A and B are shown apart, each in its own frame.
Chain A
Amino acid sequence: GAGVSQSPSNKVTEKGKDVELRCDPISGHTALYWYRQSLGQGLEFLIYFQGNSAPDKSGLPSDRFSAERTGGSVSTLTIQRTQQEDSAVYLCASSPQGGPTPYEQYFGPGTRLTVT
């Protein structure tokens, strides 16, 4: 079956513009995660969805970042007024269920965002 897909694969934007990143999780997965991977850095947790609700938004770096999930499926991560430090690879992952159980997370290929 299809894995996690993300679009666009690459995005170049000018500083100050808004961008929307999309994630299509594996069908039937209730948990969805967004991460950010900056050059030479480890993955940084941004936000977690269980269904359409986000019990943990603590990783969002500023109020310029927001995310939503509709229909328990597709999620969009929006970055407003982009800054150069937002340049990174944004990864999405889905899991059959969330919570502190060892369900495997399946990652998408990521969106490489470059802010010029």
Chain B
Amino acid sequence: KNQVEQSPQSLIILEGKNCTLQCNYTVSPFSNLRWYKQDTGRGPVSLTIMTFSENTKSNGRYTATLDADTKQSSLHITASQLSDSASYICVVYGNTDKLIFGTGTRLQVFP
């Protein structure tokens, strides 16, 4: 069964600290993996897209890694800001036109 699991479910950190979010997937075959940021009441916004041949991709303070062998990905946020408070969703794209979504990690950044 194609699944995407994320951990932790929720996370609280202080402003300025770093954090890492995890994503494990069982989707096969695999085409690409995406990380989205979803602010409360808004639609998801893409942060990174990685194909199976890419190991890392950065977007500002966000760095995503991918290990296609172990089917794991991580999203590292550096020097967190209050505006980073959101849900972060890992999404895997198989070989059909269908995305498999994780349930997300709810991140709260406090001053």
Chain A residues within an 8 Å CB radius of B98? 45, 48, 56, 58-59
Complexed CA–CA distance, A44 and B103 (Å): 10
Complexed CA–CA distance, A4 and B44 (Å): 12
Shortest distance in angstroms between B69's beta carbon and chain A's nearest beta carbon? 19
The chain B residues found within 8 Å of chain A, CB to CB, are: 4, 31-32, 34, 41-46, 49-51, 89, 91, 93-104
Chain B residues within an 8 Å CB radius of A35? 101
Chain B residues within an 8 Å CB radius of A110? 41-43
Docked-complex contact B51 and A102, CB < 8 angstroms: yes
Chain B residues within an 8 Å CB radius of A31? 97
Instruction: Return the 6 tightest CB-CB contacts between A and B, nearest first.
Output: A107-B43, A42-B103, A43-B101, A100-B31, A102-B32, A42-B101
Chain B residues within an 8 Å CB radius of A102? 31-32, 34, 49-51, 93
Chain A, Cβ-Cβ closest to B93: A100
The chain A residues found within 8 Å of chain B, CB to CB, are: 4, 31, 33, 35, 40-45, 48, 50, 55-56, 58-59, 91, 93, 98-102, 104-110
Docked-complex contact A100 and B97, CB < 8 angstroms: yes
Chain B residues within an 8 Å CB radius of A91? 43-44
Docked-complex contact B89 and A43, CB < 8 angstroms: yes
Chain B residues within an 8 Å CB radius of A101? 31
Docked-complex contact B44 and A107, CB < 8 angstroms: yes
Complexed CA–CA distance, A31 and B93 (Å): 15
Complexed CA–CA distance, A55 and B103 (Å): 25
A102-B49, A102-B51, A104-B49 are known contacts. Are A50 and B43 too (CB-CB below 8 A)? no
Chain A, Cβ-Cβ closest to B9: A40
Chain A, Cβ-Cβ closest to B31: A100
Docked-complex contact B49 and A44, CB < 8 angstroms: no
Chain A, Cβ-Cβ closest to B102: A42
A93-B43, A104-B46 are known contacts. Are A56 and B93 too (CB-CB below 8 A)? no
Chain A residues within an 8 Å CB radius of B32? 100, 102
Chain A residues within an 8 Å CB radius of B4? 42
